Structure 1
Amino acid sequence: MSLRHAVLGLLADCPASGYDLLKTFAISLGNVWSATQSQVYAELARLADSGQVTVTAEGARGRKEYAITESGRAELHRWLTEVEPNRTPRNDTLLRVFFLGLLEPDEAQAFMRREAETAAAHHEELSALTAVASGPDSFSVHGRLALEWGLRVTAAQREWALWAQKQIIDRAASGVGDPDTPVPAPG
């Protein structure tokens, strides 16, 4: 997904200012795609330059309201129906987990404990958004689907991190990995 398509998708629902889009990102899309203020405003300028959005109103302090154009709707439709999602499995956390054996067992355990705590905290943040995604409109219904994915993933991440922490504790307790302890033969 690109920021361009996220902005087009939000504007397909209704015109909005950059500030309005940032609020929507925070309460609905933050689970799947984050964006900073500078990124959103730069993308709006690029979209306006390409004719995919247009400024429909200007207000105080340079506030501009944008609406999607037919060209923007066509691009959004093309992206939704023709472009395969990026499913590249790059995950900084899992890369670190792969190398936890290079740390002392207590450091590895602490890492996994932090991962469990982080997942639990993110789960709580997402749980607070369930009331936002409760209306009958399309964004609420489909936003709830994306929110549910986030809730399930964070619950699974927490469960996995606690399980992994226990594996590290059990391994340390058994002496496996200690250079002075022989590794038991299989079966």
Structure 2
Amino acid sequence: MARRFTEVLGSIWPAQHPKIHAELNKLAVEGLVEVESEGPRRRKAYRITDAGVTEVKRWLTEVDVDHTMRLQLLLRSLFFWMMDTDELQRHLESEAQYYRQLADQYRDYAARKDRGEFGYSEQTQSIRVTIEAGVRLYTALADWADWAQTVPPAKPTPPPKP
């Protein structure tokens, strides 16, 4: 479960393996999930309970979405003026490459889903929608980093003409 969580959500909602299990234990105590089976090395498979389904539906329909985005890349952009032009160019090239690679990973995952490698359940289709958001978000961030290389402060402002 931790691997799957990281594969799909790791770059947008990171969670460490112990955090996931602690949360599952908390949800089990609250009656929102239950252990469906236990395998080797005490690995547990969980399933959502009826109460859990009700709570997720309540969260989806009654709780306001937190639209806060904490993107350190954008926070740093406020201070690009403090970097040397060459340093900033290297930084932005690196960021563009990073986000292109993430977008490509998500595209690959989307193609696997579209080929039916994970079936066609409602859950799989919802994950596909999430993956598409990742593709589009990371593509947009790569495009932004490419664009930012073409404007001040990444390119020095030409001196005014006399």
Task: Say whether the fold is shared (TM-score over 0.5).
Answer: yes
Where 2:36 maps in the other structure, the secondary structure is: strand
Deviations 1:90-130, CA, capped at 9 Å, x for gaps: 32111111101011111121211111111111112112202
Gaps of 5+ in 2: none
User: Structure 1: which 5+ runs fail to align?
Assistant: 1-20, 176-182
Which string of whole-angstrom CA distances, capped at 9 and with x for unpartnered residues, describes residues 42-62 of structure 1?
A: 111111111111122223221
Q: TM-score, normalised by structure 1?
A: 0.74
1:54 aligns with 2:64: no
Structure 1 pair 76–116 and aligned structure 2 pair: CA distance change class (3 A): same
CA RMSD of aligned residues (A): 2.3
Letter in 1 for 2:60: L
Matched residue, 1:4: none
Aligned with residue 88 of structure 1, among 68, 71, 82: 68
Q: How many positions carry a matched residue from both structures?
A: 158
Aligned to 1:55, what secondary structure does the other structure show?
Answer: strand
- Is 1:77–2:57 an aligned residue pair? yes
In the alignment, what sits opposite 1:44?
24
How much does 1:142 deviate? 2.1
1:105 aligned residue (54, 79, 85): 85
Give the distance between the partners of 2:7 and 2:52, measured in 1 at CA. Answer: 24
**In the alignment, which residue of structure 2 is the partner of 1:127?**
107
On the 8 A contact 2:103/2:138 being kept in 1, the answer is yes
CA pair 92-31 structure 1, distance change in 2 beyond 3 A: closer
**Cα-to-partner distance string for 1:67-92 (whole Å, 9 max, x where unaligned):** 21122111111111111111014321
More displaced stretch, 121-130 vs 26-35:
26-35
Query: 1:54 is paired with a residue of what secondary structure?
Result: strand
Out of 162-171 and 43-52, give the one that drifted further: 162-171
Match of residue 48, structure 2, among 61, 68, 73: 68
| Identity in percent | 33
